[in-house]
Amino acid sequence: MRVGLDFGTTNSSAAVYDGERLTLLPLDPVNSSASVLRSTLFMTREGAAYIGREAINRFTEGNVGREIEYEWKYLGDAEVTFAGLGTQQQALYAKVDANAPGRLFQSLKTGLRDRSFRQTSVFGTYYTLESLIAIVLRLIYERIEASLGQPVTGMVIGRPVHYAATPEADALAFERMQAACMLAELPEVTFLEEPTGAALSYARELRSEQHVLVFDFGGGTLDVTIMRLDGRGGRQFIATDGVPVGGDLLDQRLVMGRLLPHFGEGTTLGARRLPFPTHILEHLSEWQSISDMTQPKYLEIIDEAIAIGDRKPELKALRSLVRQNYGLPMYEEVERVKVLLSDADTAVLGMHMGEIDFDETVPRWDFERLIGPDVRAVEACIDRALAAGGLKAADIDVVLRTGGSSRIPRFVRMLAEKFGPDKLQEMDVFTGVASGMAVAAFERG
């Protein structure tokens, strides 16, 4: 049995196709939709691994609201050479979180293009990025085989058109993804661009010739593919393009554009009214980097700022955000509000936990202001794809929207203005790509 897999930045899904029927596989029985698995990994101190909604639940139960406690831990001895004293043995110690039950990883796929992300320590065991992704892929593969009740003989896995903005970073990311698949011992893996997979899913029902533009907007990237479908199963790929703009980046725009005043932005310190260090608040740009601030050197800066700063409640909220692991709940609340703004003109973004206590009313127009640069980058990507294919917007018959971010009204409006609202069609935003991968897997079998 050959299977199609959409391994996404935020969500993953898998499907099989037998030439007539397309079947989505239940990758995550804990999730509200079993066919959609959150691309998360939770590692315990003992080395046990959990993925999907269970990973988030285990992290939340064990970490959120827990006060971080540091203790000195002996790391071993090292030889140290001092001028005039010679070489001596010296014990090495470090402050570590004494009670952390586990570590959560999200958006691992985004790290593929980051050359600096080579390895990380999980309670003293070092894992490369490839090995972490391999753990997720292997667990997904085992769930696929369990649901099918038979061995998987081959897999077609989706990949973005471009993992990164530069050819060098893009090549690095693809090499690392291939290495992860090898570490996971997946059978006969081939790759297919994600928007191409979405087009294949659409083409199953098509009975006329069309120029189709696939607008695949997920958590990590925006990918565009233009194809000519003949309505009889034949297809011609005309152009592809992509940019590293996705739902995760749009969440960051909301955090950095609306929430920093609630965590001490604008604070002045002491009689000289020195500004609060901006590099501290820059860590709020990703929930994972908020955990970096649990290092004693950052906590000491925050505690000193509380003692001499003029915005004590906001600085105490920052300390609570960091020390009690509220970064993930904050980003989940931001994502919730982003989704609400697809249907409402305003939404209330609220946090009431620990010493954090605020409600921020976010109007849709301001969210659209914050993501303005990203809208322009996405539109430029579409224009490049059209130009590469020697086409104009009027030559496109259908625009297929897939991926969770493709529902955001500002992007829908941009597409409608460029191509006309009648040409826009929405596929299943979370599983459309996996369906196309399953079609490709069947054809390649």
Amino acid at 239: A
Residue-wise pLDDT tens digits, 69-109: 554 444 455 555 555 556 655 544 444 455 567 889 988 99
What is the pLDDT, as a whole number, of residue 86?
60
Q: Residue 295: pLDDT band by 50, 70, 90 thresholds?
A: confident
pLDDT over threshold 50, residue 322: yes
Rounded mean pLDDT of the chain? 89
* Tokens at 331, concatenated: 């980003």
| CA-based torsion, 404, 405, 406, 410: positive or negative | positive
Interatomic CA distance for residues 387 and 391, integer angstroms: 6
Residue type for position 325: N
> Which residues are 362's β-sheet partners?
347
pLDDT of res. 201: 82
Compute the Cα dihedral for 111, 114, 119, 121 and give only its sign. negative
Do 290 and 327 touch, CB atoms closer than 8 A? Answer: yes
pLDDT band at 408 (very low <50, low <70, confident <90, very high): very high
Long-range CB contacts for residues 405-408, cutoff 8 Å, separation at least 24: 405/217, 405/218, 405/219, 405/222, 405/246, 405/247, 405/250, 406/215, 406/216, 406/217, 407/342, 408/217, 408/250, 408/338, 408/341, 408/342, 408/371
- Alpha-carbon Rg for the chain, nearest whole angstrom, is 24
Strand pairing report for 268-269 and 274-275: antiparallel
Q: What SS3 string covers 63-78?
A: HCCCCCCEEEEEEEEE
Q: Is the pLDDT of residue 135 over 50?
A: yes
CA distance 406 to 412: 7
Take residue 17 and report the two structure tokens written for it. Answer: 């196709």
Q: Stretch 106-117: mean pLDDT, rounded?
A: 89
**Number of Cα atoms under 13 Å in the Cβ half of residue 259:** 29
Nearest residue to 223 via CA among 268, 259, 170, 271: 170
pTM of the model: 0.83
Share of the chain above pLDDT 70, in %: 92
The CA distance from 105 to 274, in Å, is 36
Kindly give, in sequence order, each residue whose CB lies less than 8 Å from that of residue 280, ignoring residues fewer than 6 positions away: 264, 293, 298, 301, 302, 318
**Residue type at 318?**
L
Q: What is the pLDDT of residue 141?
A: 97
List helix spans (H) across 161-309: 167-183, 194-203, 247-254, 278-281, 287-292, 296-308
pLDDT at 398 over 90: yes
Task: Identify the CA nearest to 388 among candidates 174, 169, 227.
Answer: 227
Residue 391: pLDDT above 60? yes
Give the pLDDT score at 87: 62
For residues 362 and 347, the answer to whether their CB atoms sit within 8 Å is: yes
Closest CA to 12 of 161, 141, 131: 141
Least confident among 74-78, 260-264, 406-410 = 74-78
CB 402 within 8 A of CB 428: yes
Closest CA to 319 of 289, 287, 280: 280
Q: CB of 28 within 8 A of CB of 38?
A: yes
* Amino acid present at 313: P
Across the range 362-388, mean pLDDT stands at: 97
